[in-house]
Structure 1
Amino acid sequence: METNGWAIGRLKSWASLWTFSLLGAIALWGCGSAGPQFQGGSLPPAAEFNNSAGSTESRPSPIAQPGPVRAFFNHNPASQYRDPYRGIERSGDDLEGRMVKLVESARSTVVVAVQELRLPRLAQALVDRHRAGLQVRVILENSASRPWSSYSPEELAQLSDRERSRIEDYFRLGDRNGDGTVSEAEVLATDAMVMLAQGGVPTLDDTADGSKGSGLMHHKFIVVDGNRSIITSANFTLSDVHGDMGRPASRGNPNNLLEIDSPVVAGWLLEEFALMWGDGPGGQPDSRFGTNKPLRPLRSTQVGDATIGIQFSPMKATVPFAERTNGVIAAAVGPATRSIDVALFVFSEQAIADAMETAHRRGAKVRVLVDPSFLARDYSEALDLLGVTLRRRTCELEPNQRPWNPPITTVGSPELPMGDLLHHKFGLVDGQTVVTGSHNWSAAADRLNDETLLVVKHPIVATLFQREFDRLWSNAATGITPKLKERLAADRARCGS
């Protein structure tokens, strides 16, 4: 378990590594096949950013959200903000700004449960509230709670290209004066985990129950003062909110964020938080993560003119599917009569695909977008909808595959800036009901991970999610694309027809 004591105890030893680690990392990155090639002892200058955020003439009109339930999107073309770390004017809602505003408004308590927290502005807001005498508590995923500034050159060399690239991006963030090194002062201003530790904010992770961690502590919510909440699909990272420091075109993985002003919803989130927190970092193994939690069935409440349903994962294997989180999703999409629009990072739950097929046969139009990195995996339900299969490395079919017959062609992936991923986890049913939250449509989310699922019925929220889906759909590659044809041909060549 990562605790404040762990981080504070190593702060001075890290100080001697920060400059060395960065210079060592420069040498390592320069030798790799991926990432920029470093010359000498300094970081290369960032490529020129395109500061254009689009003309106001082409920007759609904002939609007013006067009620207690509000939706925001980091790629919203109707909004514009200045990226606080790269200094670029860009389209989108400032999701970190929404989080900071909520935290700064707190008067008594702040709780955060998120897989990963790397945003300095948010970390500083949490520290400021803690120092002002408020009760501030943070729960994290154990594999994502280590300060980026603590990696030595030897450790960086052992990381995958993807993980090393992530650390590289935070060194870029930390090198505020552009001198190719990260000083102690720069770390204290940019490494969110060090900032929380130095500020005395209590934190724990999903090893606090004495285990090696749950599947993933994948929640992404904030609650202040027991009455106002944020629930989002975004991790609190550069890549999920603003965009990568080292990729000028990046605008962050597409994500959504809901603000809900409701003591009832906040209370449900606090109950979930309390199960995981236990006694906090006090050392008692009374935290409950993963399937150690009791059954928490779907609960609904009226918030203004919105209906909000919430359910938490995971659940024990003995719980019937209809009562599980994936069962709630299937029950939401199954009754559709007009349309189902889905934008997902991962889609691998067969029963949800089956419910969608039933609705489609009844006449509902189905459109599905999945992140390109997951669209054509052997377990992807997108393949079922397209009526095709890809086999495992052993040439075995994924169990329970049910390719649609007839298939549909309205399945694909959006075109995104280089390095960005489709990170949404939402479905829109008949243009009226929104299913969203942290929960991917997968067995892992249902059975292993700590997750939040929201079912929202509200006309303005639905309109905003429809606008986001249509934006993504407008430049999507759908159907059996040339790339997928190549994959299918390679599968036949490898395994036979």
Structure 2
Amino acid sequence: MKTTFKKSFPFIFLIIIFVSCSTEVVRQHQEFQSEINVYFNKDADTSYAFPNNKAKFNINFEEVLINRIEKATSKIDMMAYEINLPKLIDALIKRASEGIQIRFIIDAKSHDESMVEDTSTVERYTQMRLYLEKMSRGKDLIPGTDDDIMLLADSPIFTVTDTTLRKKYKLPISFNDYENVTLKIGNKNISGHLLVDAELKPGCSDCYYSPGAQMHNKIAIIDTQWVFTGSWNFTITGLYGTEKDMQNGNLNGNQNHIVEIRNRQLASIYLKEFEEMWGGNNRKPNPTFARFNKRKTDNTQHIINIDGRRVEVYFSPSDKVLDKIINTVEREANRSVYFTIFAFSYQALVDVLKVKWEGSIEDLQGERTNFDLKGIFDATFWNQWWSASINMTGRTPKQTSELHPMRRWKNIPPVYRDRDSRKLHAKTMIIDEGVVIVGSANWSENADANNDENTLIIYDRFITNQFMQEFRKR
């Protein structure tokens, strides 16, 4: 959907009123039309579509992102929880060799973490480190030259030393052009050839944080114009399913969505978040000034207007995102909430929905209201004692805690376990079919208080209708 700003008096008058109600709203000049595009990698029910508003479904996200990368004219900034897509990596390396500045923030994982899910011949983190080295070396395979992709992580990442794997991924046998170091990571001294530097602890030149919290974003900011975000990790399992599926172009991966928005103001907000984590605005990262996780501050604008649409943007953990979602539900949800979620455990949000549904947060108490609530949980956590699915379906949890008390619902709403062969990985809430909440963050204490995440709240019935089409197909 493409619209343009109309420079008429009534529109300006409305903007003036909106700005007077929220000092956070500041318009920026841009020389292009704003766009909001939504894509789904699974089916959608387009019979529910508004006229000329059919959802874009069964879409290859990798192709969409590569298309944006190929059209970049100056710079690309990305954040990823994981990356192992060869075509995407090759596209980034190619653009870096053509003079596009590329900065990339990646989540570090423990060397003890197996990450064996859906792995073929190499363990996933080992495979990712091999791909990161290819990115770091650039097209000429020499680190420290102009065609390199600049990398930073939340915790240090070391090279893979296995000769067989290095040959397989067409890397030089020698890794001695990466410095051999001994670093204090958390409370352990770890040695290796440093591939990706990370945020330093204050007052110590070789002290780093352990990779406990997740850098869980999946973001691309292109030319400070386009923002590409959503629930999709840049992985084979996230889109295709298996390597064979990838080779055959089969979209058998996890259920996900992506949102790409062309708007300079929103891109500038995401860039500010990126550069807080990067440690500055230079091509190379500054580990001394980099800030991840709880060390970040709430320093970005949160409310903007995109061609008459209110859009809110929040980052975890600095912005207390789940409180913002709860406030939105309390304020905007008068008729209905529909959701699809991978992991949902945040009790305060469960309580708000229980009050909407049956007027009480007390265990097995409440009378049915006229509020409509429907939800789909990923099967992975459906039976976990801490999952919202337990109390919502009136089941007795195996255990409780202060954060997860027993507050079973008396009137069981239509919430179900997903039956897809892969994971339901979305984090989507549709409110009164006019507001949609999307992003990288699951609705959990960990995502809200520890992880680096991003969340968009979009007030637009047409965009929301596209998410409704996808929801009805689930």
The normalised TM-score by structure 2 is: 0.70
* SS in structure 1 of the partner of residue 416 of structure 2: strand
| Cross-structure match for 1:243 | 241
1:354-377 deviation per Cα after TM superposition (whole angstroms, max 9, x unaligned) = 111222235321112111111111
CA distance in 2, matches of 1:159, 1:354: 35
In structure 2, what is the equivalent of residue 76 of structure 1? 43
Q: In structure 2, what residue type is equivalent to 1:240? A: G
Structure 2: distance between partners of 1:123 and 1:298? 31
Q: CA deviation at 1:401?
A: 1.9
- Indicate yes or no: 2:61 matched with 1:95: yes
Which residue type is aligned with residue 347 of structure 1?
A: F
Amino acid corresponding to residue 416 of structure 1 in structure 2 = D
1:311 corresponds to? 314
Q: Are residues 439 and 113 of structure 1, via their aligned partners in 2, closer, same or farther at CA, if it must alter by over 3 Å?
A: same
Q: Report SS of the residue matched to 1:384.
A: helix
Task: Provide the rounded CA distance (Å) in 1 between the counterparts of 2:301 and 2:397.
Answer: 35
Aligned to 1:46: none
Corresponding residue to 1:203 among 133, 147, 151: 151
Corresponding position of 2:77: 111
* Matches of 1:464 and 1:169, distance apart in 2: 38
Q: Does 1:414 align with 2:421?
A: no
Tell whether the 8 Å contact from 2:40 to 2:58 is kept in structure 1 after alignment.
Answer: yes
- Cα pair 1:333 1:429 within 8 Å, conserved: yes
Question: For the residues of structure 2 that align with 1:95 and 1:370, how far apart are their CA atoms?
Answer: 23
- Displacement of 1:457 in angstroms is 1.4
Summarize deviations over 1:388-423 as a string: whole Å, max 9, x none: 23224xxx5564424244232411112112xx1110
Taking a change above 3 Å as real, the CA distance of residues 106 and 214 of structure 1, as seen in their structure-2 partners, is farther
Distance 1:276 1:443 in 2: 21
Aligned residues: 358
**Do the aligned partners of residues 379 and 165 (structure 1) sit closer, same or farther apart at CA in structure 2, a change above 3 Å counting?**
closer
Counterpart in the other structure of 1:437:
439
**Structure 1 residue 345 corresponds to structure 2 residue 342:** yes
Compute the displacement of 1:352 (Å).
0.6
After TM superposition, the structure 1 = structure 2 runs for residues 90-489 of structure 1, keeping only pairs within 5 Å, are 92-143=58-109, 160=114, 163-168=115-120, 192-199=131-138, 200-207=148-155, 208-210=198-200, 211-213=209-211, 215-245=213-243, 251-278=252-279, 284-296=287-299, 299-315=302-318, 324-335=320-331, 336-361=333-358, 363-392=370-399, 399-417=403-421, 420-472=422-474
Letter in 2 for 1:408: I
Alpha-carbon distance in 1 for matches of 2:137, 2:300: 39
- Alpha-carbon separation, structure 2, partners of 1:277 and 1:397: 37
What letter corresponds to residue 357 of structure 1 in structure 2?
A: K
Deviations 1:109-168 (A, max 9, x none): 100011111111211221122111121110000118x9xxxxxxxxxxx875xx335431
Answer yes or no: is the 8 Å Cα contact 1:378–1:398 preserved in 2.
Answer: no
Aligned partners of 2:217, 2:296: CA distance in 1, in Å? 14
Once the 2 structures are TM-superposed, how far is the Cα of residue 305 of structure 1 from its aligned partner?
A: 3.8
Q: Distance in 1 between matches of 2:67 and 2:403?
A: 47
Q: What is the CA–CA distance in structure 1 between the aligned matches of 2:58 and 2:374, rounded to whole Å?
A: 24
CA RMSD of aligned residues (A): 2.9
**Contact residue 253 and residue 422 of structure 1 kept, 8 A:** yes
Q: 1:432 to 1:129 in 2, by over 3 A?
A: same
Structure 1: where are the runs of 5+ without partners? 1-63, 80-90, 147-157, 173-186, 316-322, 473-497
Distance in 2 (CA, whole Å) between partners of 1:370 and 1:364 is 20
Counterpart amino acid of 2:221? V
AA matched with 1:198 = R
Secondary structure of 1:308's counterpart equals strand
Q: Judging changes above 3 Å, is the alpha-carbon distance between structure 1 residues 311 and 471 closer, same or farther for their aligned structure 2 residues?
A: same
Cα separation, 1, equivalents of 2:241 and 2:256: 12
1:296: how far off? Answer: 3.9
Change over 3 Å in CA distance of 1:159–1:287 after alignment to 2: closer
| Identity level (%) | 25
* Aligned counterparts of 1:363 and 1:435: Cα–Cα separation in 2: 22
Looking at structure 1, the residues matched to 356 and 233 of structure 2 have their Cα atoms a distance apart, in angstroms, of: 32
**What is the letter of the counterpart of residue 233 of structure 1?**
S
Conserved? CA contact 1:333–1:359, under 8 Å: no
Q: CA 1:103–1:250 in 2, change beyond 3 Å: closer, same or farther?
A: closer
Secondary structure in 1 aligned to 2:109?
Answer: helix
Change (3 A) 1:169 1:296: farther
Q: Is the 8 A contact 2:40 2:257 kept in 1?
A: yes
Paired with 2:86 and 2:410, the residues of 1 have a C-alpha distance of 50
Letter in 2 for 1:235: N
One-letter amino acid of the counterpart of residue 306, structure 2: V
SS of structure 2 residue aligned to 1:164: coil
C-alpha spacing 1:250/1:415, structure 2 compared with 1 (3 Å): farther
Report if the CA contact (8 A) 1:113-1:222 is conserved: yes
CA distance in 1, matches of 2:389, 2:58: 28
Q: Which amino acid aligns with 2:64?
A: R
Displacement of 1:103 after TM fit? 1.0
Equivalent residue for 1:492?
none
8 A Cα contact 1:118 1:193, kept in partner: no
Between the aligned partners of 2:269 and 2:413, the Cα distance in structure 1 is: 40
Secondary structure in 2 aligned to 1:127? helix
